[in-house]
Structure 1
């Protein structure tokens, strides 16, 4: 089986509710879906959401990178030469991690289909299902309380609260949410780089003093501030997770060597796909650092790929793979299914995806 052609398209999927963080507001998922087509006619699906404030990648840059630079280099290669294809994708150009991830995912999908194995089994098969949290956008405390209660009612046992816009107001938000949902629900906080190191320490210590029982704090400081992240990690009792700082393999290696965080959030769009995400998981496992599998605003194509890796590896102990749940509709045929907070993996080969409705090819 060889790669015969690559087709690029877009899907626009409205969100159930505007997604708000300290970095951006989004009301629809504007995703790039690639189809890597083999000479047998088999199709591998890949996904890349443009997230310029985090990855630096826009729709246009993703399309251009795939169409003009990376795609032509892997066309004609044998799908069985998985290592060769991934090496070619990595070396094709600097940066452009989302474009690389889209092609990487599609090639893995083809590889799984070629050999008749679902990707979660290819990656280790540790679980058949995983639990995800549900993200609560940053808003006024009263609205966030209602959103949190709705999540718990829907069966979520962990919620991820977006904070980082105003430290004093963040304390009120989290205090109100904890009072509303009780202590049987895990609360994770994501500051999206919103605090300074000292502000982060003051704020997190306040959470601790109030007994709010926060499971973890994600990326409290700027992504480039590795020393600031280490300062926060060393000066609070709550576990600190690197997200935007843990961009790719090199950054994660640096963070782990510095002991700058307690946890690592792996995202395919930062890592450049599954190939490098596996390396990050192995780095972390070697250092005894547990991982969360996270996502951008991917369609179910990207979520299925991320869930497959999360289910395959035992070092991935947490999941924040709720993007497909936040969408008002699901155009993806096949892939994972959802039951309350559980993501159920398919035993169909590859990603188990057969089509994407509303896919519009980019000429």
Structure 2
């Protein structure tokens, strides 16, 4: 089954409320949708959001990478020769991980459709349902606490709290206010998005431990390149530390795993370059006894559905951060993963289960 056409489309969706982290503030979600059509008329979808501050990708850059570099390599190639095909995508250029991921996901969509299986079963089939956290973006302590309280009322039992802007004292006030509003039964995960130095991270986390805030984990407390600093934080705190921006590639994962610089790894398809490489990173982590979470950028349900299929397929993936579509003012995709509060259920139809996308002909 050969690839007949590769197309890209721009989409834009407002967020319900501006999303703020230590790295950026976002009011509108923009993405490039990739549509790959096979010679038998089947369609596979992928998504690539531009996340300048993390992946370095832009809308124009993604379009150029897909249309001018990757598409000529894969047109008229058989998707059934997937190892060579996906290797060609991965080696087509340096970086540009979001463009590669969108193409990779569309190819996997077609592969699973050809096999007549939902993608999560095609990849391993470990489970078809799980629960996601909900993210509380950075604001003043009172506003964050009110947001957290509302999310708990909406049925979410795990919250991901963005910190790392302003002073350490302000971050401590944020967590104290949220813990009081959310109650003791709610899991709290923190994400500093590289916002602290190693000493600041150790100080802040130790203060939270002493205060009994009961933090489940702290994600990427230090700069992405500072693996020694990440290890320093991991070695000097009791709270589990998760690497996110520090791990894009399998080599990044090896560096973190061999040095025991983190207790967990957050895999994102947009960092890894797609499902093919994400599986490799997860298998490396599993070999070292390190569990993984799968998260995302600010993506629509198209990208999240692909990530959710991958996450559900693997036993070593124990945590899920897939609230991005819930932050958007509207859903532009038909089909795909379904939400019932925090619970997510994958479709049983072949492939991703995405049947259409607003603005994509």
Q: Please indicate, yes or no, whether the TM-score normalized by the shorter chain is above 0.5.
A: yes
In the alignment, is the contact (CA less than 8 A) between 1:133 and 1:157 conserved in 2?
Answer: yes
Which residue number corresponds to residue 88 of structure 2?
88
Report deviation, 1:124.
1.3
Question: Which aligned pairs between 1:93-132 and structure 2 lie closer than 5 A?
Answer: 93-132=93-132
Q: Secondary structure at the match of 1:33?
A: strand
Which residue number corresponds to residue 334 of structure 1?
335
Indicate the larger mover: 259-268 or 75-84. Answer: 75-84
Could you report, residue by residue, the CA deviation over 1:100-145 in whole angstroms, capped at 9, with x for unpaired residues? 0000000000001111111111121111101100000000001000
Q: Does 1:148 align with 2:165?
A: no
Q: Secondary structure at the match of 2:63?
A: helix
Which residue number corresponds to residue 21 of structure 2?
21
Between the aligned partners of 1:306 and 1:293, the Cα distance in structure 2 is 7
Between the aligned partners of 2:125 and 2:44, the Cα distance in structure 1 is 21
Question: Which aligned pairs between 1:133-144 and structure 2 lie closer than 5 A?
Answer: 133-144=133-144
The TM-score with structure 2 as length reference comes to: 0.99
In the alignment, is the contact (CA less than 8 A) between 1:120 and 1:308 conserved in 2?
Answer: yes
Unaligned ranges ≥5, structure 2:
none
Q: CA RMSD in A?
A: 0.8
Report deviation, 1:358.
2.3
Report deviation, 1:359.
3.1
Q: Secondary structure at the match of 1:78?
A: coil
Which residue number corresponds to residue 188 of structure 1?
189
Question: Which aligned pairs between 1:152-301 and structure 2 lie closer than 5 A?
Answer: 152-166=152-166, 167-301=168-302
In the alignment, is the contact (CA less than 8 A) between 1:130 and 1:310 conserved in 2?
Answer: no
Q: Secondary structure at the match of 1:92?
A: coil
In the alignment, is the contact (CA less than 8 A) between 2:117 and 2:349 conserved in 1?
Answer: yes
Between the aligned partners of 1:72 and 1:334, the Cα distance in structure 2 is 30
Could you report, residue by residue, the CA deviation over 1:53-107 in whole angstroms, capped at 9, with x for unpaired residues? 0001000110000011111101111011111111100111111000000000000
Between the aligned partners of 2:360 and 2:332, the Cα distance in structure 1 is 8
Q: Secondary structure at the match of 2:91?
A: helix
Between the aligned partners of 1:317 and 1:206, the Cα distance in structure 2 is 27
Report deviation, 1:193.
0.2
Q: Does 1:42 align with 2:42?
A: yes
Runs of 4+ in 1 over 3 A off after TM superposition: none
The TM-score with structure 1 as length reference comes to: 0.98
Between the aligned partners of 1:247 and 1:62, the Cα distance in structure 2 is 17
Between the aligned partners of 2:169 and 2:91, the Cα distance in structure 1 is 45
Unaligned ranges ≥5, structure 1:
none
Which residue number corresponds to residue 7 of structure 1?
7
Could you report, residue by residue, the CA deviation over 1:233-253 in whole angstroms, capped at 9, with x for unpaired residues? 000000000000011211011
- State the aligned residue count: 360
